[in-house]
Amino acid sequence: MSFPHPPSEQELHAYVDGRLSGERRQALERYLAEHPALATELQGWQEDIRRLRAALADPTLLSSNPRLDPVYIRQHRRQRRQRQLGIAASLLLAVVLGLGGGWQLRDRALQASIPPMQDALEAHRLFALQQTPAVDVRSVDIAVMERWLRDNFGHVAHLDAMVERGLTPVGSRLLVNEQGAAALLLFEDASGERISLYLRAPGQLYGTMLVGNRAQGELQTHFWSRGGYNYALVSHAGDPRADQLQQALRL
Amino acid sequence: MLDDDALRELLPRLRRFALWLIRDPASADDLVQASLEKALSRWAGKRAGGELRAWLFSILYRQFLDGQRRQRRQAALLALLGRQPEQDSPPPEQGLQAHATLAAFEQLPAEQRALLILVGVEGLSYAEAACTLDMPIGTVMSRLSRARKALRALEEGDTPGPRLRRQK
């Protein structure tokens, strides 16, 4: 075998690295005899790699490092995975808390735009403040009103407290809101001042409510929860009976 | 399961390869540790057969390249912030060895150092080296020529300059 053409790069490397078979090596050596420049270069390459090999000869000379032992690495890996799991869990928790917090913020924003028992106030404006109040059932008897409430809501409310403060029933009206039925009970005092008692099932935004009140314009709303219903007492702002009625009715 | 004894036996070679890639003993061991962790996590997915040593070398080399890339990004970021990036390699006078051959070898670019170690010192076949460095075998041949010529030039006292190390 001979090299009519210059030998390939791979053959040159294989020669330098001693990976050529006998026959091919001899052929290349014959070629090199005719090309002394190349022969010198390859000799240099061989010399370099020999020296490099000698210089790097003993890899065990590096001082041992227990950190690199497979047993340690496996252990380390396990620990790190547990740590990562821990981090992942805490991230997940953070996301959940964030979402929950966001939901609460949303609710709070809604609550800010829709104050509690706003529907009671609207109902009072709509039905109670008209010259002739728009009620379904006219009655001046508190017992009739209580029965009406029991029949329609299965709910027993004692309205004596209203009567005790000089308020007589005018009538009642059945209303509908997003939670179902609601009731507006309208009362009037001797001077024609109207106070309405409103009750409804708890809404999504306001479940069971703390006792409270708020004023809005000329009206004030006292609200509380009792017996699975949310109550609102709507009266003229500053009406002193409202506080007392709230006290009496929520117990 | 990856055999611990087989790993232990290859450890010195991996450390040597890492050391001459990264040229800093502490970083080299970090590199080996990271590579072994990767190897242990990937072992399940490794196809049967294939040489363990070449496979480990290739993981280590890839980890090394990742590290280099990370360092370059950091340097670019620092430059962007108007700070001088840290020297990414020990200057030659603080090199590993006073040994002339090693001093010359140390000045070669990382890829050439990797090639010479894999082929010349570890005796990997050209195909294995191509696999390890993730390049076609033809490229291995031409880069190997370039590496040998560069080492020769350095040995003969031609100084292509330390810039050589930075070319990629």
Least Cα separation, residue A79 to chain B (angstroms): 12
Name A134's Cβ contacts closer than 8 Å, sequence gap at least 6.
Answer: A126, A127, A173
Between the alpha carbon of residue B49 and those of residues A85, B53, B54, B55, B124, the distances in Å are 33, 11, 11, 10, 16
> Maximum CA pair distance of chain B?
50
User: Residue ranges of chain B with pLDDT lower than 50?
Assistant: 90-95, 160-168
* Cβ distance of B116 and A52 shorter than 8 Å: yes
Q: Could you tell me which of B126, B122, B53 has the C-alpha nearest to residue A14?
A: B126
pLDDT at A90 over 60: yes
Chain A residue with minimal CA distance to B156?
A: A44
Instruction: Say what the pLDDT of residue A158 is.
Output: 78
The Cα B62–Cα A23 span in angstroms is 38
For residue A17, give the nearest of B32, B120, B142 by CB distance: B120
Q: Which amino acid is at A162?
A: M
Count: domains in chain B: 1
The Cα B152–Cα A111 span in angstroms is 81
- How many Cβ pairs within 8 Å bridge chains A and B? 93
- pLDDT tens for B116-146 read 999 999 999 999 999 999 999 999 999 999 9
Chain B residue with minimal CA distance to A16?
A: B120
- Count helices and strands (H / E) in chain B: 8, 0
Which residues from chain A sit within 8 angstroms of residue B4, using beta carbons? 70-71
Which residues from chain A sit within 8 angstroms of residue B40, using beta carbons? 70, 73-74, 77
pLDDT at A249 over 50: yes
* Cβ distance of B101 and A51 shorter than 8 Å: yes
- pLDDT tens for A113-155 read 777 788 888 888 887 777 777 777 777 788 888 888 888 877 7
* Cβ distance of B40 and A16 shorter than 8 Å: no
Mean pLDDT of A21-46: 92
Interface-testing mutation among A19, A73, A80, with chain B (most B C-beta atoms within 10 A): A73
H or E element at residue A81:
helix A70-113
Mean pLDDT, chain A, rounded, equals 84
The Cα A152–Cα A137 span in angstroms is 12
Instruction: Say what the pLDDT of residue B97 is.
Output: 52
H or E element at residue A175:
strand A168-177
H or E element at residue A246:
helix A241-249
* Cβ distance of A67 and B33 shorter than 8 Å: yes
Q: Could you tell me which of A186, A176, A193, A190 has the C-alpha nearest to residue A232?
A: A186
- Classify burial at B121, counting beta carbons within 10 Å of its beta carbon; exposed 0-12, middle 13-18, buried 19 or more: buried
For residue A48, give the nearest of B99, B145, B155 by CB distance: B155
Both tokens of residue B7? Answer: 């790993």
Instruction: Say what the pLDDT of residue B168 is.
Output: 41
Q: How confident is the model at residue A238 (pLDDT cuts 50, 70, 90)?
A: confident
pLDDT at A61 over 80: no
Mean pLDDT of A161-165: 87
For chain A, first and last CA: distance in Å? Answer: 115
Instruction: Say what the pLDDT of residue A5 is.
Output: 73
Tell me, yes or no, if the pTM score tops 0.80.
no
Q: Which residues of A touch B (CB under 8 A)?
A: 9-10, 12-14, 16-17, 41, 44-45, 48-49, 51-53, 55-56, 59-60, 62, 65, 67-71, 73-74, 76-77, 80
Between the alpha carbon of residue A7 and those of residues A14, A15, A25, A28, A38, the distances in Å are 11, 10, 11, 7, 11
**In which domain, by residue range, is B88 found?**
4-166
Yes or no: say if A117 and A220 are a contact pair by the CB < 8 Å rule.
no
DSSP 3-state of A234: strand
State the CATH number of the domain containing residue B122: 1.20.140.160
